[in-house]
Amino acid sequence: MQIDWLNEIIIAFIRFLKNPLLYWMIVSALFVNRKHTKNEMKQFGKRITPRFSEWKGTLFISLCTSLVISLLAISFGLLFTYEIILILCITIIILNFVYQYSLLSASYVIGIAYLLLFPSLATLHTSYYQILTSLTLLIGIFLVVEAILLWSVTNHHSFPERMNSKRGSIIGQYKLKKACFIPFFMLVPGETMTPIFSFWPTFPLGEETYSIVLIPFVIGFNYLVKSDVPTKIARQIAAQTALLAIIVMVFSFLSFYSQYLSLLTVIIAIIGRILIQLNVYREETRAKPMILKIEHSLKVFWVMENSPADRIGIRIGETIVKVNDQHVHSMKQLESVLHTNESRLVFHLKGNDQKERTIHSKVYANSLAQLGIIFL
C-alpha cells in the first residue's frame, strides 16, 4: 500500500505525541527546576538563577540538529528499528531518573542501545548492517552537538553552590548543567512511501519497505567545577568532546566496511566520554577553589543576570578592590559606599590573572541586593 509523504509525516507526529519520553522529560524538567529553587532558597534566601536554565538557549541548536539529522536520514537511508526506539526511550528515562542529566550523552544512551541489540540484530532485520552504521553516525553527530552546547555555556547558565571543604572552609562551586530536546525523523522498516518528487532518491533497503518515524531524543551533561570561571572550564570540556566527536565520526565512516569497526566505534565513544568525565572530576578535585571565603576580601561569587552589576560588566571571580577610590574589604564597607554614592560608581577590580581594570558606571544601587552581586 502506497502512503504519501504528507500522511506519513502526520502519522509520525501522532506517534511522537504518544511517546512517553516526551511527557517524562516535561515532568523531569519541572522536578529539577523545583529542586534548584529549594536549594537556592536554602543557600541564598532567594532564586538567583533563571527558571529552567538547563534548557535555556537550546531551541536553535535543537531545531538545526533535528533538521540536519532528518535530512541525512531521508537522503542517505539512515535506519532505526522499533526495538531501538524502545530501548532508547527506556535508557533515557532510567539514566535521567537516577543521574538527572549527568549521563545523558549520546555515547551512553545510543551506546547502550547498540550493545544490547548487537548480538541479535542480524537475526531480526535484513538491513542490520545499515542500522548499526546509522547508530554510530548518530553518536558522532550528537557528540558534536554536545560540544556546541558546552561551548555556548555562559556563567549565567551555571548553577552556583556553597559548600564546606574537607578543611572546614567555605568554598564556591558551579554546576555546568545543560539539557537539549532534539526530535528527529528516521526511517524504520515498514510501509512504502511515494517520493515527493520524481527525482527523489530511492534507498537500498533490500526487499524491505519503510516508513518515517519522529523520534524524541534528549542529550545532556552535568559537571561540577570550582577551579575557574564556569565559561572557561566549559570550553575546555567542549574541546575534548569535539575531539572525541571527530574520532567517532571517522571510525563511523570506516565502519561502512566492517560491522566490527562499528562496534569498536561505540566502545571508543563510551570509553572516551567516561575519560572526559573522570578527567574533569580528577582535575577539579585536585585544584584549588577559585572562590574561597577569606576575611578582608571581596571576590565575586555570583552576578545576577540582568542586574546593574551584570549590565556594567562585573564578572564572576573578580575581586572588588576599591569603589569610588575607597578601599573596601568587607560587605559592610561596600554597602556603606553604595548607600552614600547611589548614582555614580567607579569600580576597581582585580581578575584571577591579577590584572586590574576600572569600570565607570551610572547605576542606581544603594545595596548589594540591588547591585546584584553575591559573595560567600
Output the pLDDT for position 353.
81
Note every long-range contact of 67-75, with CB atoms under 8 Å and residues 24 or more positions apart, other chains counting.
Answer: 68/141, 69/138, 69/141, 69/182, 69/184, 69/185, 69/186, 70/184, 70/185, 70/186, 72/137, 72/141, 73/134, 73/184, 73/185, 73/186, 73/187, 74/185, 74/187, 74/212, 75/201
228: left (phi over 0), alpha (psi -120 to 50) or beta: beta
Stretch 174-184: mean pLDDT, rounded?
Answer: 93
**Sign for the pseudo-dihedral over CA of 121, 115, 87, 192:** negative
**pLDDT over 70 percentage in the chain:** 88
Output the pLDDT for position 173.
92
Residue 356 pairs in a beta bridge with: 350
Integer CA distances (angstroms), 338 to 78, 321, 327, 345, in order: 61, 14, 13, 8
Amino acid of residue 4: D
Lowest model confidence (mean pLDDT) among 38-42, 72-76, 178-182, 215-219: 72-76
Stretch 295-307: mean pLDDT, rounded?
Answer: 86
Residue with cell 558551579: 174
Output the pLDDT for position 208.
59
Output the pLDDT for position 88.
92
Output the pLDDT for position 187.
79
> What does the pLDDT look like over 86-95, one tens digit per residue?
899 999 999 9
| CA–CA gap between residue 208 and residue 347 (Å, rounded) | 70
> What does the pLDDT look like over 21-58, one tens digit per residue?
889 999 999 999 999 889 989 988 888 888 888 898 89
pLDDT at 16 > cutoff 60: yes
pLDDT at 245 > cutoff 90: yes
Output the pLDDT for position 336.
82
Residue 139 gets which letter from DSSP? H
